[in-house]
Structure formats: structure tokens, C-alpha cells
Amino acid sequence: MLEFNARNLVTLWGPRGEIADYASKQWNGLLADYYLPRWQKFFQHVGMTLREGKPLNQHSFLEKLLVFEQDWQTKIAGADLPTAPVGEALDIVQKLEKKYEQLISNSLRIDIYAQPIGSSEVVHAPGADLLAEQLVGRS
């Protein structure tokens, strides 16, 4: 139960992710074991919708993601989690900078606000719509 509670506090923060990532941490094991698979699932879902020419169904994706997140919370960690840093951080950062330098430089030249984004293309954080409705009701 202690491990479940600890996993819950740094990920979903509730049984259904009511305030997911509220206390997210870049702790040992979380990046490779939790956040990387989440990002992989997101890009797989986006790639599939693009290939099929369908609009992104955020609700469907979040439902599938919640299954992964809840399963992850019930895992019991073994000795497979490293207890010491792996690699040299400075070397890794320098390699990544060299690898992506041109992409980063090019992206800084793109005016992301030049083209309006349609409301159907906007992806909202869980609960953002409810919060927006509450805020609009106050004005």
C-alpha cells in the first residue's frame, strides 16, 4: 500500500487522475518507466489519427492512457530500478544539443502564431473545459 500511495502522489493524484501530474517528479525510474511510455502512447495515437485522416479524439486517448496509468500504480518495484545515476549528464546534454541544434534553431524562426488553430485542433488538459466554464460564468 505504501508503494501504491507513493506512485499515486507523483502521478495521478487520485483514483482517476483528477489532477494528474499535480506533483509530477523527474525521479529515478519515473522517466523511463512511466513518462516515456505515456509519450510513446500519445505519439502512437496522434500518428494513427493522422494516418487515418481522422480528428484527434482526446477523450478516447485519455481513457486508454488512464488504464496504463492505473496499471502502473499497482506495480511493485523490484531491484530493476537503478540506484545510481546512469551516464554522464554533461556528455549526454552536449550530444543531444549537437544532434538537435539545427532543429531547435529552425524552430525558433517559425512564428507559431502566424496561422490560427481551429478549436477542433486544440488539446486541453483534463478538467480544463470545466474550469473554463466556471471562470466564464464568473465574468
Q: In this predicted structure, what is the pLDDT of residue 139? A: 47
Q: Where are the domains of the chain?
A: 2-138
Would residue 13 be called left, alpha or beta, if left means φ above 0 and alpha means ψ between -120 and 50 degrees? left
Summarised one tens digit per residue, pLDDT across range 29-47 is: 788 888 999 999 999 999 9
SS3 content of the chain, % helix, strand, coil (to 5): 60, 0, 40
Contact 123, 58 (CB under 8 A): yes
Q: In this predicted structure, what is the pLDDT of residue 86? A: 76
Please state the pTM of the whole predicted model: 0.55
Q: Could you say which residues of the chain have pLDDT below 70?
A: 28, 78-83, 110-139
Summarised one tens digit per residue, pLDDT across range 88-107 is: 888 988 999 899 888 888 77
